[in-house]
Amino acid sequence: MSDALRPQPKPGVMDIAAYVPGKSAAPAGVKLHKLSSNENPLGASPAAKEAVKALAEKMEFYPDGSATKLREAIGEVHGLNPANIVCSNGSDEIIGLLAQTYLKPGDEAIFTEHGFLVYKIYTQAAGAVPVSVKETNATANVDAILAAVTDRTRVVFLANPNNPTGTYIPFDEVRRLQAGLPKNVLLVLDAAYAEFVRRNDYESGIELVSSTENVVMTRTFSKVHGLGGIRLGWAYCPAHIADAMNRMRGPFNVNAAAIEAGTAAIRDRAHVERSVEHNAKWLAWTTDELTALGLSVTPSVGNFILIHFPADEAHSAAKADDYLTARGYVLRRVSAYGFPNALRMTIGTEEASRGVVAALKDFLK
User: What's this model's pTM, rounded to 2 decimal places?
Assistant: 0.95
33, 82, 79, 51: which is closest to 271 by C-alpha?
Answer: 51
What is the per-residue pLDDT for 25? 82
pLDDT surpasses 80 at 158: yes
Residue 344 has pLDDT above 70, yes or no: yes
Residues 6+ apart with CB under 8 A from 69: 259, 263
**pLDDT > 80? residue 246:** yes
CA angle 59, 65, 69 (to 5 degrees): 80
Res. 4: pLDDT tops 90 = no
**Among residues 254, 297, 264, 273, which one has the least CA distance to residue 40?**
273
Q: What is the predicted pLDDT for the residue at 10?
A: 86
User: What does the domain layout of the chain look like in residue ranges?
Assistant: 3-44+270-364, 46-268
pLDDT of residue 222: 98
Using a pLDDT cut of 90, give the percent of the chain over it: 91
DSSP line for 45-90: -HHHHHHHHHHGGGTTSPPPTT-HHHHHHHHHHHT--GGGEEEESS
Question: Residue 13: what pLDDT?
Answer: 87
For domain 46-268, the CATH architecture is 3-Layer(aba) Sandwich (3.40)
Give 235's DSSP letter.
Answer: E
- 10 Å CB burial of residue 79 (0-12, 13-18, 19+) is exposed
- pLDDT (tens digit per residue) in 274-293: 999 999 999 999 999 999 99
CATH code reported for the domain at 3-44+270-364 = 3.90.1150.10
Instruction: Grade residue 28 by pLDDT with cuts at 50, 70 and 90.
Output: confident
Q: Rounded to whole angstroms, how far apart are CA atoms 302 and 195?
A: 8
Residue 186 pLDDT greater than 70, yes or no: yes
Instruction: Report the pLDDT value the prediction gives residue 1, as an integer from 0 to 100.
Output: 59
**Secondary structure class of 97 (helix, strand, coil):** helix
Please give the average per-residue pLDDT across 325-344, as a whole number.
97
Average pLDDT over every residue of 308-325: 95
* Amino acid 2: pLDDT: 66
Are 142 and 177 contacting, i.e. CB atoms less than 8 angstroms apart? yes
Between the alpha carbon of residue 239 and those of residues 82, 92, 158, 210, the distances in Å are 10, 20, 21, 10
Q: Do domains 3-44+270-364 and 46-268 have the same CATH topology?
A: no
pLDDT tens for each residue of 127-141: 999 999 999 999 999
